[in-house]
């Protein structure tokens, strides 16, 4: 924190913004291997929540790395900084009273715990998109696994870099062999239950 800055406290509060939106703001954090379906699920869940009249916004790994985090590599220390910045951005969106859906590999438990600390445990919903490496490689939507296997990509999570699965996620969805519509339904039921408990 800079020694030459002073935090400004504004009159409009997060609670007032949530009241205006008509719901509590949560951070839905989708974590899992590349190709597990995080972005697809976040997109479909957002569409459903939007259709319910809820205020939402998506933060996606590839999009963030093309903009605010384009200066970061995939080395472990840069992965950590990538997630820290995303957590701070998420916290701002949550303060605006908006449900935020974040789709990031976020391979390290300590980094996801820091996200939880930044945004607050009560605001954080960790969704583990549990898809086997074999299934992710079979899909290989971006061709990343093929490049990683040939040595073209270094620090590929699941191949040459570790993925630390959540120990106690708020929700775990196993997508191998399950229709995506069923997975979306499970996630929506969980989220809507949380929202109703705070109305």
Is position 106 annotated as part of the catalytic site? Answer: yes
Sequence-ordered list of residues with C-beta below 8 angstroms from that of 74, at least 6 positions apart, any chain: 154, 155, 156, 161
Tokens 């939507």 belong to 141
Tokens 């290989």 belong to 140
- 134-142 long-range contacts (CB < 8 A, ≥24 apart) are 135/35, 135/175, 135/176, 136/33, 136/34, 136/35, 136/36, 137/35, 139/35, 140/35, 141/35, 142/34, 142/35
Q: At what angle do helices 38-51 and 180-196 cross, to 10 degrees?
A: 50
3-state helix, strand, coil in the chain (%, to 5): 45, 15, 40
Q: Are 127 and 187 spatial neighbours (Cβ–Cβ below 8 Å)? A: yes
Active-site position among 25, 36, 55, 106: 106
Q: Are 131 and 62 spatial neighbours (Cβ–Cβ below 8 Å)? A: no
Q: Are 127 and 173 spatial neighbours (Cβ–Cβ below 8 Å)? A: yes
Catalytic residues: 106
């Amino acid at each position: 924190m800079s020694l030459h800055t002073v935090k400004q406290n504004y009159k409009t509060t997060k609670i007032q913004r949530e009241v205006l939106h008509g719901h509590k703001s949560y951070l839905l954090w989708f974590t899992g291997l590349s190709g597990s379906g995080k972005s697809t699920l976040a997109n479909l869940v957002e569409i459903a929540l939007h259709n319910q009249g809820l205020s939402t916004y998506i933060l996606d790994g590839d999009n963030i790395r093309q903009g605010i985090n384009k200066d970061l590599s995939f080395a472990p220390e840069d992965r950590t900084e990538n997630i820290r910045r995303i957590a701070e951005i998420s916290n701002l969106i949550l303060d605006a009273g908006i449900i935020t859906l974040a789709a990031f590999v976020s391979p390290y438990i300590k980094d996801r715990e820091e996200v939880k600390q930044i945004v607050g445990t009560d605001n954080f919903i960790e969704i583990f998109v549990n898809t086997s490496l074999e299934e992710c490689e079979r899909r290989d939507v971006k061709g990343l696994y093929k490049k990683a296997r040939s040595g073209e990509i270094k620090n590929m999570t699941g191949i040459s870099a570790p993925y630390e699965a959540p120990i106690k996620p708020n929700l775990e969805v196993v997508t191998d062999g399950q229709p995506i519509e069923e997975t979306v339904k499970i996630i929506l039921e969980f989220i809507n239950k949380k929202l109703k408990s705070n109305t």
